[in-house]
């Protein structure tokens, strides 16, 4: 008897091909569309109905069973409320990471196993080797950054069929299988809403924000912002400050509703080589003592040599624009060890001039 796999099908090409590959490999495949969000935001129409229909059409094409799991209530509590709370605190959260931790590899897994699945599968560009999570073969699409908080037990119950492929090959396979999603563009924007930016979403949820001062490196007010909640450390665009040199956000004070900026790209407040990590998570055993590893501090960011000692990450090269609430993901070679949420960002001293 073949093993049962429940595939998270989003209506996109990656998860469609994942389902096709698993069926080809002899698994008893069931496609599942997770209804996490269904609300229109402002002038942006939520695409869930179109995505659901695309996923269902692919399931019919493949001749596999298909289900819908309604996780809207749980998603609101675990992901959306978390996102809003973090932004209100002046931090910069990553909803995709929280979605993977709480929804896909916890709630979806639990529900699928209760319904008779032996495994779940997703269309992530990552690989698994036993109990180890590895980067995807296509380095330009590798999504291991988003999966570092996966539970060890969940990992052993998870399959990642497209992790050994490049994106161009996935498109080719989709056309080979004649899937209706073969030419569907990849989704952009917020993971659960779609084609909308975080500013529009926060405004929809919280209403217009109180304007406040934008202060330069000398403490002089040089402009007004439309809500400190909307700005991220290191941000350059969207400040709407006239003049010659570009400005970069160095700090936010939510209690004062103030945003601080600098024109000096080598301003120590923009750079850090020490970061405290909160909510440390290890996929397998908790390492003892100092951990020598590489760290990725943002999706598609470079891997930086580092040491983790007593909850503090020491970087061999200072990095620009780090923000509390973002994730630091730790690697040794291709293996994802785990990571944590950035807390205190310690400004660097004696920074060598860096090019933009």
Q: Where in the sequence numbering do the catalytic residues fall?
A: 99, 191
Instruction: Map tokens 């490049």 to a residue.
Output: 166
Contact 126, 142 (CB under 8 A): yes
Burial code (b: 16+ CB inside 10 Å, e: under 16) for 227-238 equals bbbbbbbbbeee
Q: Which of 306, 346, 347 is CA-nearest to residue 328?
A: 306
Q: Which of 27, 14, 234 is CA-nearest to residue 118?
A: 27
Rounded CA gap, 250 and 232, in Å?
9
Rounded CA gap, 126 and 143, in Å?
6
Contact 31, 19 (CB under 8 A): yes
Contact 228, 254 (CB under 8 A): yes
Rounded CA gap, 259 and 224, in Å?
9
Rounded CA gap, 119 and 106, in Å?
12
Contact 322, 297 (CB under 8 A): yes
Rounded CA gap, 216 and 212, in Å?
13
Distances (CA, A) of 161 to 5, 31, 107, 206, 339: 11, 14, 21, 39, 24
Instruction: Map tokens 């993971």 to a residue.
Output: 191
Rounded CA gap, 243 and 249, in Å?
16
Both tokens of residue 71? 């996780």
Rounded CA gap, 110 and 128, in Å?
20
């Amino acid at each position: 008897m073949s093993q049962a796999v429940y595939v998270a099908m989003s209506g996109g090409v990656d998860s469609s091909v994942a389902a096709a590959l698993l069926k080809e490999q002899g698994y008893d495949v069931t496609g599942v569309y997770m209804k996490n969000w269904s609300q229109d935001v402002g002038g942006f129409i939520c695409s869930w109905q179109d995505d659901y229909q695309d996923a269902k059409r692919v399931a019919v094409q493949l001749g596999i069973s298909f289900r819908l799991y309604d996780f809207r209530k749980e998603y609101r509590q675990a992901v959306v409320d978390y996102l809003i709370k973090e932004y209100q605190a002046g931090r910069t959260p990553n909803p995709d990471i929280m979605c993977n931790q709480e929804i896909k590899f916890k709630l979806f897994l639990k529900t699928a196993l209760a319904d008779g699945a032996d495994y779940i599968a997703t269309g992530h560009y990552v690989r698994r080797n036993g109990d180890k999570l590895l980067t995807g073969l296509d380095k330009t699409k590798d999504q291991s950054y988003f999966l570092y908080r996966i539970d060890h037990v969940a990992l052993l119950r998870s399959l990642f069929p497209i992790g050994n492929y490049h994106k161009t090959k996935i498109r080719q396979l989709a056309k080979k299988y004649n899937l209706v999603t073969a030419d569907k563009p990849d989704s952009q924007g917020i993971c659960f809403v779609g084609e909308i930016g975080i500013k529009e979403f926060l405004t929809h949820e919280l209403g217009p924000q109180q304007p406040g001062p934008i202060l330069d490196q000398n403490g002089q007010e040089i402009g007004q912002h439309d809500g400190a909640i909307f700005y991220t450390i290191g941000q350059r665009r969207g400040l709407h400050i006239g003049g010659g040199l570009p400005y970069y956000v160095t700090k936010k004070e939510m209690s004062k509703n103030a945003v601080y900026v600098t024109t000096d790209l080598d301003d120590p407040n923009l750079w850090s080589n020490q970061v405290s990590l909160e909510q440390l998570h290890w996929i397998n055993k908790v390492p003892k003592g100092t951990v020598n590893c590489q760290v990725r501090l943002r999706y598609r960011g470079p891997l930086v040599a580092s040491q983790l000692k007593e909850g503090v990450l020491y970087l061999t090269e200072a990095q620009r624009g780090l923000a509390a609430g973002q994730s630091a993901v730790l690697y040794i070679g291709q293996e994802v060890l785990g990571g944590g949420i950035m807390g205190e960002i310690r400004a660097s001293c004696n920074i060598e001039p860096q090019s933009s």
